[in-house]
Structure 1
Amino acid sequence: MAKKIMLACSAGMSTSLLVNKMQKAATDKGEDVEIFATAAADADNKLASEHPDVLMLGPQVRYMLADFEKQADCPVAVIDMRDYGLMNGEKVLEDALALIK
């Protein structure tokens, strides 16, 4: 069964490019993952409907970490600012998978 990785940023736009890079890295590694992005404002709904295995927050919404840690029934982490800025899909994927295992 595919592992679900959810990314949340302020609008869900900047993370969609990161999703594509992460998906490519996952395919290259043979990892069975489903990765999707959403706006932080809609993250509550997505947590309830999608039940991700891990939630990764964009650096711009790091202030929401404590709230999401309380309500999410999965590990929650902030994407490293440098990896986010460089759109390092492989590194963010590794970080996400490490939280699931």
Structure 2
Amino acid sequence: MKKILLVCDLGMSTSLVVKRMQEAAVKRQLEVEIQAKGMSDFKNAITAFDCALLGPQIAYKLADCKQIAAPLNKRVETINMMDYGMVNGEKILDHALSLIN
């Protein structure tokens, strides 16, 4: 099972994105676990996930997150601002899966 971490400032604003991604995964019959966490949980949480996507509002933290994730061979990127704003679960799921495959 693939595990995807979404990160925002407090872990709340990405909850709708998580829901839409999960709906897209069910439609595709994919086994994925998707969770949202706050930035303060990133360092501990990334160890249990295959990749992480940061919400656009904390894109300025990308370099720090990549530095934490690199020794663990985990990829971290930001969510496209348009996809985030439109809550496009399909595209965001595709983006996350591309980081894992």
Q: What range is the shorter-chain TM-score in?
A: over 0.9
Query: Aligned pair 1:30/2:29, yes or no?
Result: yes
What code does the residue aligned with 2:54 have? L
TM-score, normalising length: structure 1: 0.93
Task: Specify the alignment match of 2:53 in structure 1.
Answer: 56
Task: Give the aligned residue type for 2:42.
Answer: A
1:2-45 residue CA offsets vs partner (Å, 9 max, x unmatched): 10000000111110111010000000011110000001111112
Counterpart residue identity of residue 85, structure 1: G
Whole-Å Cα distance in 2 between the matches of residues 15 and 45 of structure 1?
18
Map 1:10-29 → 2, pairs under 5 A: 10-29=9-28
Q: How well do the aligned residues superpose, as a CA RMSD in angstroms?
A: 0.8
In structure 2, stretches of 5+ residues that fail to align are none
Number of residue pairs matched? 98
1:46 Cα offset (Å):
1.3
Instruction: Give the 4+ runs in structure 1 shifted more than 6 A.
Output: none
Taking structure 2 as the reference length, what is the TM-score of the superposition?
A: 0.93
Q: For 1:72-91, what aligned pairs fall within 5 Å after superposition?
A: 72=69, 73=72, 74-91=74-91
Q: Give the unaligned 5+ runs of structure 1.
A: none
